Structure 1
Amino acid sequence: MAVKYLGATRRVIALGSLLLAADASAEQSIGDEQPLRVEQLQRCGDLLQQDIQEFCLNVSGLDNSDFQVKLNGIPLQAENLDHTDENIRVRITSADTQSGPLWFEQHDQASNPVWISLKGSHVVAATDQELAENMDGLTTYVDLVSVIIEESYEGAEEAQRLAEKYGAEVVGIIPPLNTYQLRLPVSNLDARDALVLRLGSEVSVDAVVVEESGAEESVESETDELPAADDQDWASNRFLDAVNYYKRRLPRQGGDIETQPIRIGVIEREVDFDAPDFADYLGDCRTDSLRTCVYARDAVAPDGHGTTVAGVFAAAWNEGGNSGFLRGLDSVGPGFDVIVDRNSDAGITANIAASVNLVEDGVRVLNWSWGIHRVGAIDIDGEEVDSLVRSGIAMSGYEELLEEFFLWLRREHPDVVVVNSAGNASSFSGSDDYRLPSSFVTDQLFVVGGHQQGDQELQVDDPGYVVKRDASNIDMRVDITAAACVRGSSLIEGEQGPAHCGTSYATPLVAGLLAAMMSIDPALTPAQLRMLLRRSAMTIGEEYDFEPTDADDLTAPILPSERANELDHPDIGLSARLDMYKALDLTVQSLDRER
C-alpha cells in the first residue's frame, strides 16, 4: 500500500495504525520527500515599470542544489534570478517573452505551473496594520484607494499629478481602465475620507474606489452537506451526456469539425496540487498540446474555494473528489487552458486587475464565482442580508470600476464572456442597489443561479426534477440555473471529498460549457451563446406568466422566441435550467447551418 506523505512543513495526514505497521525504511524515505510547490506569486519592485517586470515567488521544497526556472518552457538565465531560502525574485524583460506558465524543476521534481502575465495591471493589498473598521463595522483600507481617471486625460500623467498634489504615491495600475492606485498620506479613516472627497471633486477624476476587504477574506461560498444521499447533482444538467456527445461527435481523426483551443480565466487564489485531482498538472503541461492544463498557485489544503471551483473545470476523473468537465474532453479536446489567478489580495479591485490581464492574455471566458451586496440589502423574506456586504461609498466605487471594465470589454474584446454567480443570500441579483456585479445588463455577462436535487422521482427534463436552493439569489437578471452542489477534492486517492454547495460551483459548469461551445465555433458572439444556452435549457419551477409572483421567479422566464415561437409550448414562462448536452448539440447544428 502506497501512502503519500506531504512533508511536515505543509500538512500532516494522520495515519494511525497504518503508519505503525509500515516498514521503517520506507517511512524514512517518504518522510524525506517534500513536494516542490509555488505557493505565492506577486508583482514586486517598481510596479510602474513595464519594460522589465519583477515577480516575487515563495517556493517550498527547494534545497540548496541547482534548480531551473522555466517560462513558456524556456529556462530563465541565472542573472535574472535572486534566491533567498524559499523566496525567489524573477526579472523578465517584456520585449523578450510573452505571458505564460512558469514552473520550477529540481532533481526529478517539477512544481505546479503558475501563470505569469506581462500585461502589467496590478494593485497592492493592505497589510493587517493598514486596515481599520468603519462605522458600518466593515474592514476597510486606511491609506490605499484607487482613482478612475476620465477618458479624456492621459491616465498615468494625471495620476502622478494628483499624487504630487496630495502628497500621495502611485503604487498600483490598471492602465486599460485608466485606473491608478494611490497610497495616501493618512493614518486614520477621518483623514482618508476627507482626502477621498477632495480627490473625488477633481475634474479629471471619474470616481474613487475605496476597498472594503480583509487581506484574506474568503470569496463568496456556501458549504454544507448535500441535500440528499445522491451526490450526482450534475445529472440534472446532463453533464455525462454532454461529455459523451463531445467525444463521440468531435473525434480528432476523421471528424468534420476542427475544434479550437480556448483559455478560461478563473478569478480565485489557488489550487491544491497535492490532491489526486490535480497531481498530474505539474511541470510542462503543454508537452501534450491537446490536453487540459491548469496554472495556479498551490494551496495548503484541498477544501478551498479555488480548488473546488477549478475542479469543476479540470479535476482528474476517477481519482477522488471532483471530476472536471473540460478534463473529461481530453481524449478529443483541443487543449483548454484553465488559468487561476487573483492578482493580489486587494479585494474587488484585484479581481478586476487580474481579469484585465487575463483578457489581454487571450482568455475568452472569465469565471467570477464572487459577488457583494450593499449594506441594507434585503432577502426575499424581507430580512437584511448579513454576508458579503459593503458600504454605500464602497459600492459606488466598485460600480464605477465594473462599469469601466465592461465598457472596455465591449469596446476592445467583444468576444469575451464573463460568467458570474448569482449569490447565496436568498436575495435579488438584478438590482444594483443590492448586488454587484450580477446586476449589470450586458450581453457579455452571464448570471448563474443554483438548484439542487428534488425529492420526487421524475424524468430529468421534468421541471420538478430539481428545486431551487433556498440560499440562491433570484430574479429576472439570472440567465440560467445549474447544479449548486459538488464533491470537493481530497488528499487521499479514491476518497470522496466533502460537499460544497453554492452558486459559486454552479457558475463553472456554465463557464466550462461556454468554453466547449466556443471550441466548436470560436466565432460565436456573447449574444449567440446566450441564445443557444437559453434555447437548449430545460425548465425548473412553476409558471408565473412572465411576472414575478411572491419573489419566486428563479431566472428570466423562457420566451416564445426561445422555443421556435410556439406560443403554446409547455416551457413558456418557466425558469431556465442548464442542459449541457443540448447546448453542445445546438452549437454543432448551428455550425452546420452556417456551412
Structure 2
Amino acid sequence: MRKRNLVTGGLAAVLSLLSLCVYADTPLRITQLQRCGNVLDSQQPTYCVQVSGLQSGPAQLRFNGAPVPTDRIEYRQDHLRVRLDAAASRSGPLLVEQGNQLSNPVWLSLGSSHVLAADEGAVAKNREGLTTYLDLVSVIIEERYDGAKEARRLAERYEAEVVGAIPPLNLYQLRLPVKNLEQRDAAVLRIGNELSVDAVVIEESGAEQTLEGDAAEQPVDPPKDPREEWKSNRFLDAVHFYQQRLANGSDPVPTHPVRIGVIERAVDFDAPDFNDYLGDCRADAKRTCVYARDAEAADGHGTTVAGVLAASWDNGGSNGFLRGLDLVGPGFDVIVDRGSDAGITANIAASVNLVEDGARILNWSWGIHRIGTRDIHGDPVDSLLRSGIAMAGYEELLEEFFLWLRREHPDVVVVNSAGNGAAFSSQDDYRLPSSFVTDQLFVIGGHQRSTKDVELEDPDYATRRHTSNTDMRVDITAAACTAGSAPIVDQDGPVRCGTSYATPLVTGVLAAMLSINPELQPDQLRMLLRRSALTIGRESDFEPMEADDLTAPILPSERSNDLNDPDIGHSARLDMYRALELAMESLDASR
C-alpha cells in the first residue's frame, strides 16, 4: 500500500512525539494541516495535522527547524493537535521526522484568516441545481465598524455563531441556526439589510470539493510533445540567460529571495518531480523549496501547477522553471496552500495569510463563470458555474481583497488564469476574478503551437488554445499545454492543457525578474512583460469584443512609440528570455 493510512495508535510518552503502528511501506507524509479548535484564537492557535506512514517508536515534529515541545501536542483519534504561541513564533515550515525518514514540509501560517468548510450534511442543492453551503455564510462588515465586535452582535441577534474570519477584510463567517435553504435565504436577506453589512457571501461549492481550478478542460487535440510548447515562450533561453548572466565572474549580479504563494490543495511528493523536496529544504539557501500537503496521485491539478514552477529536471515528468535557476538563484519559496476547502472564500483567506507571510506573488490558477455566460460563439459556458447571488458576494469579496492589497501591500502581484470557457474575460458580471481591472492583477490566456512552419518570432507560430478565454482584459498568453508529473522515474507524465498551466509560466518569470530587481512594482512588471512580448494572432482592430483580440493589443508606447513597428495591434505572447533581459536593464535605469 503506497499511501494514505492515517495514524491509528497512541501517544508515546517521549514524543519525541508519538508511538503508532501502520503499514511499514507507507512513506512518511503530512496529508493535511488546518486550523482547528477555536479558529478565532490568534494568541494560542491550534492546528490539526494528519500524518500517514508513522511507525511505532519515537518521532519528532519540527516547526521552523526546531522541535515542537511535547506539551504543545495532543493526540486525537486520527490526527495531532498542535498548539503554538503566536507571539513567540513566526509562520514557517512544519515537518515530521522519524528514524531516517523525513516528511514533506508544509507551510504553517500563523495568520488570522481562516474559514470553515461545510461537511456533507451541511450542503444542499439550490434552484439552479448547484451545491451550496446551508448554514455557513460570510458577512463583509462596513469598514467604519469594528468587524469583530459587529460580527458578535450580529451572531447574537440572529442566534448564530462566529466560526471563521478574514480580519484584514473585515469578513466574518457565521454558522446560522437554519435547517433548509428557505430559512437560510431568509436569514441572508435580513442580515444583508443590516446597516453595518456591506455584503453577504454565499459559498457555492461541494463539501470537500476539489479546488475551483481552470483545469476542467479535457486535453482535446493535445500536442505530441508538450515540452515543445514552451519553446514558444523561450523557456530554455530564459533559463540559460539567468544562469550565465547572473554567474558572470567579471560582473556578477546579486539576487534576492522571492516567496510565491500558489493557491492549490496539495502536491504529490512521491512523484520523482518532487521527491527531493522532502525534509528541511532550506538547509540549502540557494535552492528552490516547495511547501505543500501531500497528494494521493501525481496527476492532480496542484501537482501540475506547482510542477511548472518547481519540478526537478530530467525525471520524465515536468521541468520547473524556477528549479532550473537553482545554480545561481536566490532560493525561491513556493508555498502551495489554500487553508481549507471552503471554496472561493478559503482561496482569499489563504491569499491574505500568504501575503502577510511575505509572498510577493500569488498564483491563482482558478476562476468561475456566472450561469448564463456565453462563449465567443454565442454558446453557453458549462464549466465552473455560479448563481447570480453567489457571484455578487464573490465580487464584493474580491473587491475588498484588492482594495486591501493596494492599500497595505502595493508591491504584491496576483497572476490569474483567464479561464477555459472560450468566453470573454473582461465581463465582470460573468467571469471572476479575471475581469477585475487593477495594476496588481495579471490575467493570462493560453496558446498552443500552430501547424504552420514559420519562425519563432512570427505571429502565426502559436495560436490561441481553442478553450482559452480571450479579449482585451487578458494581459498576455503563454503555453497552455504541459507535461504533468509522472508516478515513476523516466515515465512520461500525462498531457495537461488549460490556462491554469499557462499562468505559472508567467508567475515563474515574474519571480525571476523580482529576484533580479526587487524594486520593480506591478505596473512596471506589466510594462516589461508587454514590451518584451512576442506576438500572436492577426493584427487587431482594437475593438474589445473582437474574438481575435486574444489579449490587449500591443500599443505604440510598448514599442518605443514607433507607429510603424509591425508588432503594433497584435496580441501579446510571453517571451521569458526578453523579459529577463529587460529586468536586468531596469537595474541600470534605477541606479
Q: Would you say same fold, with TM above 0.5?
A: yes
Counterpart position of 1:352 = 348
Report how far residue 74 of structure 1 moved. 0.5
- Whether 2:408 is the aligned partner of 1:412: answer yes
The question of whether the paired residues in 2 share the 8 Å contact of 1:252 and 1:332 is answered with no
Matches of 2:467 and 2:53, distance apart in 1: 41
Alignment-mate amino acid for residue 320 of structure 1: G
Counterpart position of 1:52 = 44
Counterpart position of 1:229 = 224
Counterpart position of 1:268 = 264
1:73 to 49, 62, 65: 65
Q: TM-score, normalised by structure 2?
A: 0.95
Counterpart position of 1:305 = 301
Matches of 1:490 and 1:106, distance apart in 2: 27
Seen in structure 2, the aligned counterparts of structure 1 residues 550 and 48 have a Cα distance that, compared at 3 Å, is closer
Counterpart position of 1:217 = 210
Matches of 1:344 and 1:550, distance apart in 2: 39
**SS in structure 2 opposite 1:464?**
coil
- Whether 2:144 is the aligned partner of 1:149: answer no
2:150 to 149, 158, 180: 158
**SS in structure 2 opposite 1:556?**
coil
* 1:271-326 Cα distance to aligned partner (Å, 9 max, x none): 00000000010110010011000000000000000000000000000012111000
Report how far residue 32 of structure 1 moved. 3.7
- Whether 2:33 is the aligned partner of 1:41: answer yes
1:101 to 70, 93, 117: 93
Report how far residue 84 of structure 1 moved. 3.9
Alignment-mate amino acid for residue 333 of structure 2: D
Report how far residue 86 of structure 1 moved. 4.8
Alignment of 1:324-403 (within 5 A): 324-403=320-399
Alignment of 1:199-218 (within 5 A): 199-215=191-207, 216-218=209-211
Alignment-mate amino acid for residue 325 of structure 2: L
Alignment-mate amino acid for residue 377 of structure 1: T
Alignment of 1:457-496 (within 5 A): 457-496=453-492
* 1:32-80 Cα distance to aligned partner (Å, 9 max, x none): 4221000011100111110001000110001231111111101100111
Counterpart position of 2:524 = 528
* 1:127-186 Cα distance to aligned partner (Å, 9 max, x none): 111000000110100000000000000000000000000000000010000000000010
Report how far residue 220 of structure 1 moved. 2.2
Report how far residue 545 of structure 1 moved. 2.6
Runs of 4+ aligned residues of structure 1 deviating over 6 Å after TM superposition are: none
The question of whether the paired residues in 1 share the 8 Å contact of 2:3 and 2:296 is answered with no
Question: 5+ residue gaps in structure 2?
Answer: 7-22
Counterpart position of 2:190 = 198
**SS in structure 2 opposite 1:52?**
coil
Matches of 1:187 and 1:400, distance apart in 2: 26
Report how far residue 456 of structure 1 moved. 1.2
1:168 to 160, 163, 166: 160
Matches of 1:60 and 1:256, distance apart in 2: 45
The question of whether the paired residues in 1 share the 8 Å contact of 2:287 and 2:329 is answered with yes
**SS in structure 1 opposite 2:584?**
helix
The question of whether the paired residues in 1 share the 8 Å contact of 2:455 and 2:461 is answered with yes
Report how far residue 254 of structure 1 moved. 5.4
Counterpart position of 1:569 = 565
Comparing 343-352 and 549-558, the one that deviates more? 549-558
The question of whether the paired residues in 1 share the 8 Å contact of 2:222 and 2:495 is answered with no
Counterpart position of 2:426 = 430
Aligned length: 571
2:513 to 485, 497, 517: 517
**SS in structure 1 opposite 2:206?**
coil
* RMSD (Å) for aligned C-alpha atoms: 1.3
2:579 to 540, 564, 583: 583
Report how far residue 88 of structure 1 moved. 1.0
The question of whether the paired residues in 1 share the 8 Å contact of 2:199 and 2:396 is answered with yes
The question of whether the paired residues in 2 share the 8 Å contact of 1:62 and 1:86 is answered with no
Alignment-mate amino acid for residue 210 of structure 2: E
* 1:329-353 Cα distance to aligned partner (Å, 9 max, x none): 0000000000000111100000000
Matches of 2:172 and 2:60, distance apart in 1: 35
- Whether 2:277 is the aligned partner of 1:285: answer no
Counterpart position of 2:20 = none
Alignment-mate amino acid for residue 220 of structure 1: D
Seen in structure 2, the aligned counterparts of structure 1 residues 476 and 549 have a Cα distance that, compared at 3 Å, is closer
Seen in structure 2, the aligned counterparts of structure 1 residues 57 and 373 have a Cα distance that, compared at 3 Å, is same
Matches of 1:66 and 1:562, distance apart in 2: 61
Counterpart position of 1:20 = none
Of all paired residues, the percent bearing the same amino acid is 66
Matches of 1:346 and 1:146, distance apart in 2: 11
Alignment-mate amino acid for residue 225 of structure 2: D
Report how far residue 217 of structure 1 moved. 3.3
